[in-house]
Structure formats: structure tokens, C-alpha cells
Structure 1
């Protein structure tokens, strides 16, 4: 999966040598990343969650459905993991699926499909292709009736990939307000509060459109805490935010929204536009959504790899959030503590974390949360350049921010060795972390992974006594 592994580690496979070996430390960090991503592939997790019995009873995460009760089965949805999820559903149901359409940013990433159409769109800023794909999904939802079983794929990235502008709002309006919100450092819940109220699909609107069909959602979560109202902007879930909340987000982050967006939100706050459906709305009476993979799924897979290699392993948190460069300083402190006192684990140790950090864009450089995290960690770490410590930080979808890399692999000698400290500081100030990390051979390149369960960080601290022996 990691395309430039030899550049990052050398020709070694990361499994040989003692637990203080630099190659082994770096190789283990990459092995943990690869297994974590593999463990959240939609083909795998959806196939584990969905089964069809001999009696024509479909089981979805423990919920059962007699297919004899339905005249047709429709698959719809979107997100970065949508194709893999669709492949898994076709492998279980085959010709029982009557129609379907999913929208993704990597149409070739999951394999061939016979019953479900794949529409390609763009992320993180919505495009006309996304509008067309969302239209196809809404048409399927509108055509469903009480005799239809709708299997809906809801995965990270769906907010941008399924734009569906509301009446009076153009795609250009959505693009501008989305880009400004992403650059502002706003968290995903605040961003989605605005997007939900400018959409014909988000914030439970898809559930409204699909009624009275029976709707079963399969979600891969890229959201801290797995809030169903936030994953892909909650197309199948009650929305507890309001038009007034959305206006508050624009004001809080100083967003100069397009006039059409501001006008719609103002009219909604005055009660002139109907609110998104809330808890208790009839639209959700026949809807259930199951999370089949999340950040903790990825972390658990990485723990197993570390322990198999003889390292102690612990999950620090799957819910780390806040400004990336500041969160990185905390993890630098954790690395120093492991090395100095053996807390929370004695070396050789792997400390794992995930979540969703953000970047407030102040300059026009190239980077993303994981690139800034890695560079800030390497700059802040207080340890000798030859200390056996490494950190891999990636976005599990393979694209960190607006870049074409997943993240970076750094160690105690990255800053002060391959990257000058002043260069690192300047890059962070310019939001340009990719440039020095790529020049130093630290960027991790995977291409699109076909899944998305948010950020993943693997901190490896080797045993210096073995290295010195």
C-alpha cells in the first residue's frame, strides 16, 4: 500500500534487527499504518457485517430483514469508501440488487460492479460531478416506496462528494463557503452545520426523500465519537443544529459567505425555510444506521501488529482534536516520557492515537493536518538525533488536506538533520509542511486507499539498551 516504502525505510522489511534498530523502528511504524488501513477497508468490514442466510434473511450488523417482504433492493450513497462497500454488498446479494448508485472520488478503487452504478466526484471542494452524482442518488431515493429495501452507504468524504445545493444556492456558492470554512480551522461539526442547511440531501434530508422505504445505513466513520449526524453530514440522521447555529458558525469564524448562502440561512432562522428534520421526525421511523468501522477499528489493528513484533502497545486516544501543531507537542512529550521514565509504557513501545486535528490556514503553502503534525512533532521533540524514536502520521484516506500524500514518517533526527530547524519553523508559519518533508524523503505516499476513518498516528520508541549492547 505504501508506494515509497524503500525511500522511507530502506531495503529492509522492518521485521529484522533488534528493537533499537532505526530501520526496524521506522518499518514497524509503517507496518502499523498499513495494517490499520487494511483493517478498515470497506470490502472487509462490510462483508463481515452483512450476511445472507439460506432462508433469504439478510443480516446487517445483527439486524435482520426477510427479503421476501420487499419487492426490490436499492443501494445508494457516497463517500471515499463507497465503492468498496458497494463491492461487498454485491458479493453478498448479487442479482438481488435491482438498482443502485454510489458517488466517490476514486471510481476505480474498489473493483468491478454489475448492479450498482459508480459516479465520480471531487473532494474536499464540491464539483459539478458531485452535483450530478447526488442527483442520481436522490432520484433513486425518490423512486423508493414502502416495498423497497434501501441499503445506504454513508462514509467519510460524503459531505463534499454529495453536494446537492438547496434551492437558491449555487454550486459556486457551496464551493466558496466550503473552502473558506476548511481554511478557517473550523471543526467538522461546525462546517457541517452550515453544509446541512444549504443542502437538499444532508441533515436527514435523504431519509425524508427515501421514505416510506425501509432504509438501512452502513457507515464508515471519520468523525470523533461516531456522531451519525456528522458522518457525511448525516444524510440519514436527525440534525440537532439549526439555521441559527449555522449563522453562528459563519460569525464565529469570520466567514464572508456568498449572499445566497447568507440569505438562505437568514430566511431559515426567521422560519421562512423549513428546518432539517430533528429527532422524533417521522422520516426516521423506518431508518437504522450501523457504524461498521471507525478510527478505533484502525487502532486496534495496529496494536496487534506491534504486539506481534514484541513491542508493548497502547491506544492513547481515538479522539484527539484541536490544532494539529499544538496536539503534536503533546505527543512529543509522550515520546520523551516513554524514553525517560517508561510511562505509560516501557520501551520498546508503540503508542497509538487517532482523531481529527485541524489547521488554521494563514498562508498559501501546501500541507494538511498530518503533515503539520509530523513536522511540529519532529521540531518539538527533545531527544538525541540518534534516539530510536519515530512517528508516522497519516490521513487514512491517503490524502492529507489538499495534497497527494497521506502524511509523513519522521524521527528524532529529522529536524536538525535532514531538515534545518529554521526551515521547519518557516514551513509551519507558511502552512507549507509538505515541501520540507517531501524534500527530506519523509512524505508517505499511498494513493487513495478506498477507506476513510480519519487521522492515525503511530509513535514507536525503541529500546536503547538493546541498541547500545
Structure 2
């Protein structure tokens, strides 16, 4: 019974990920009829452009770029695709670079400098195509003048372990960068530009995806200040000076709505968490489950959100609600973990461990929490399976579930009982998927 549920959950997740495969998403969004390129409500006469530049960044940048090369197979392209270590592969025309995620490294900085050089060549008669996906904020980095890169890295690390949401983290990132918060749109001007985006943020807000490099930014230096105060983050000297200057109006804000550079920009959302969830729901129905798609907006502390799924499981087992069994309850989003100890794991594994504790001893159900990118936190697992037997199995291995949750050591917990879900890096990223199955 349990192995059957694991198999079903894995197949449902696989279907979700396939629906947001990057090359499929690009070819769905871009159509070409002879020398007319159609994207959304816009048509572009390719004969009108002297050069076409491509700037792709994020975990899906290589397959997105490959799809674009196939669509524009007979047209010269110049540009770069910046992706996460291990996801790079050769393209026909576009250069490929690898960098670090979720914390930028020297290659992220080099990528930012290279993109600046590429866009400096773009003129009015040119077209720039931006291919943007999850992880872009880290992979493409170019600090504002006088901001220390080493201090920027330290701030990234502090933000990621603080419990701040991705919106809050990216608000800070935008104000430290020349490429984020509309910065790339400014660099590309006066060329025309198209931005195709795979969303890895709750709500699919364009100004949060990869820190909004080609769209207006509504956030301010005051928001930056409020965030670091809220999470009690100590700023190192160069960043503290930048924030003070920003608050005093001594340096310019990020680009806002109405800036003339956006008159030349067109943006299109081509894949989301909801896209993945709808495919997962269809697969679950094919497997014989009665399905309910709760939401693609799940946020909050990972271990607390797990209690909601545990409550749903208990209600299904006792009352057959909110739908009759067999039931599949689906949701997606991106939760957070406030790290207080140095265990190994990720937000999905932590959610699964918290769920396991809440449902200890119960039967006929299983929970899978997994990242669509195949990597949960700094681990080689996408997430983990959990059910009513997980705590007992780990106990037989000498592990205390409650203590391991407190130390954020979920990876060791699920590794000991063989319930990590390892699928490898998928090359896409539309946040996380949560699957609850009840027989």
C-alpha cells in the first residue's frame, strides 16, 4: 500500500514538472510565421532588426535558449545564458556560463559584467530577448557602485537564513544592484526588448521574478530599511552607507512605472506553479484519485504549514472530507525556514518531517513535498516522502524526530529511512509542489 502511494506521488510530481519544461514553455509562447515573430499580443518583423541579442539567466536558461535558437534557426544571435552549476551545456550560438545559487559567487559577478558589455552594444535598430527563470537573482549579479561584493554575499546569506520571504529578499537585492529593479531594461534601451519569464515566486509578480530586471519596481529604500530592521540584520559598512544615501535621496531609486525605458519593453509570463499544479491534478485524476487543488500561494514557516496538511489528512481519514477517498490534495508555493541550528535539509524536507511528527501512527496516507527544480536547499534531494510510519522507522535507527526538526536536520532523518526523493536537477523552477494522498 505505502509503496503504491509513493509511486503515485512521484508520478504526479513528474507530470507537474513536465508541464513547465522550459523549451516547451518558450515554444508555446513564441510563434514564428516566416519573418514575423509573435509573442502574446505583440508582433515583431524580424527584418526590421539589425542585431538580435539574447540574455538568458536562471536555472532554465539553457533549455530556454536552445528553444529560441530552434525558432530563430536561420538568424544570427549574440548573447549569453547564465545557469546554475551542473546545468550548463553547449548551445549553437549563445555562450553558456555557470554560477552559484542561491548565494552569488565570483562567476555571478563576471556574468553581470558580461551582460553589461553585451547590452552596451544594443541600439535602436536592435532587439534584445531576455529569458528569465528561477535563480536569476543569484546567478546574475552586478552591485551598485561602491558596494562591496563580499559584503553583498554576506547579506545574501543572512537574508536566506532569516526567515524573510522571497519578496522581501528580492526587495533588498534590487536596491543593491544595477541589473535588478528595471536595471536591464535601462541597459538595453533604446533597443526593443522581449522578456519571457518562468515564475518561481508566489503570486507570479513580474517585479519579484529574478528581482524584476526588466520591469518597473514599486519598492523603495524605505522598504529595504524596514526589512533589515524586521529581521534584525546587521549591515556591513558599504551596504549601510548605500542604504543611508538611498534614504536621504542622495542616490537614485530603482526604476518606476512611467520611466520611458519601459515603452520599449514587452514581458510575458510563460510558466507558473499553477501551470504545474493543473498538470498534477490531471495526472492524479487519471490515477483514480478525487482531486482538490488548494492553492499555488502557500507561504509561511515550513513546519507550521505542515500542520495544515496533517490536519487535512486526519480529516480525510476520519470524515472523508473535503472529498471522498481516494483523495489527492494539491498545493504549491514557497515556504520559509528560520534557521537556528546547523542541520542539513531544505524547506520541503523540513515540511515533510513536521508532517511526519503530526501524523505519527496513522495509516493509509502519504505526503510528498518537493522542489520543482529537483534541489531542496543545499542538498541533492528534491524533497521527501512522509507518513504515519516515518517517526517509528527513524526511531529504530536511533533518531529522535522532534530533536531533528529543532536542529533542522531533516535530510539525515529521511536519508536514514530511505524516503528522500532524488530526481536530479530538472532545469526548471516554479517553486514547490505539495501532494497529499489518502487511500
TM-score normalised over the length of structure 2: 0.97
User: Given the alignment, which residue of 5, 10, 15 partners 1:35?
Assistant: 15
- Asked if the contact 2:359–2:387 (Cα under 8 Å) also holds between the matched residues in 1, the reply is no
Is 2:386 the partner of 1:410? yes
> Displacement, 1:349?
1.1
Match of 1:194 in 2: 172
Deviates more, 1:335-344 or 1:427-436: 335-344
Distance 1:65 1:161 in 2: 29
CA displacement, residues 73-94 of structure 1 (integer Å, 9 cap, x when unaligned) = 1110311111111011011112
Match of 1:318 in 2: 296
> Displacement, 1:366?
1.1
SS in structure 2 at match of 1:184: coil
Match of 1:171 in 2: 149
Is 2:28 the partner of 1:48? yes
Once the two structures are superposed, the pairs formed by residues 23-422 of structure 1 within 5 Å of their partners are: 23-54=3-34, 56-106=35-85, 108=87, 112-381=90-359, 384=362, 387-419=363-395
CA RMSD of aligned residues (A): 1.4
CA displacement, residues 341-388 of structure 1 (integer Å, 9 cap, x when unaligned) = 22221111111110010000001111111010000011112652xx22
- Asked if the contact 1:107–1:119 (Cα under 8 Å) also holds between the matched residues in 2, the reply is no
- Asked if the contact 1:243–1:275 (Cα under 8 Å) also holds between the matched residues in 2, the reply is yes
SS in structure 1 at match of 2:369: strand
> Displacement, 1:62?
4.3
Deviates more, 1:420-429 or 1:132-141: 420-429
Distance 1:142 1:388 in 2: 60
- Asked if the contact 1:236–1:287 (Cα under 8 Å) also holds between the matched residues in 2, the reply is yes
- Asked if the contact 1:324–1:369 (Cα under 8 Å) also holds between the matched residues in 2, the reply is yes
Ranges in structure 2 where 5+ consecutive residues have no aligned partner: none
SS in structure 2 at match of 1:197: helix
Pair 1:153–1:199, CA change in 2 (3 A): same
Distance 2:289 2:180 in 1: 44
Moved over 6 A (4+): none
CA displacement, residues 109-157 of structure 1 (integer Å, 9 cap, x when unaligned) = 5x54111111100001100011111211122222111111111011110
The answer to which structure, 1 or 2, has the higher relative contact order (CA under 8 A, 6+ apart) is: 1
- Asked if the contact 1:165–1:199 (Cα under 8 Å) also holds between the matched residues in 2, the reply is yes
TM-score normalised over the length of structure 1: 0.91
> Displacement, 1:203?
0.5
SS in structure 2 at match of 1:417: helix
Distance 2:182 2:127 in 1: 18
> Displacement, 1:22?
2.2
- Asked if the contact 1:324–1:373 (Cα under 8 Å) also holds between the matched residues in 2, the reply is yes
Ranges in structure 1 where 5+ consecutive residues have no aligned partner: 1-20, 463-469
- Asked if the contact 1:83–1:104 (Cα under 8 Å) also holds between the matched residues in 2, the reply is yes
Match of 1:430 in 2: 407
CA displacement, residues 206-262 of structure 1 (integer Å, 9 cap, x when unaligned) = 101100111110000011111101000000011111112111111110001111111
SS in structure 1 at match of 2:219: coil
Pair 1:382–1:404, CA change in 2 (3 A): closer
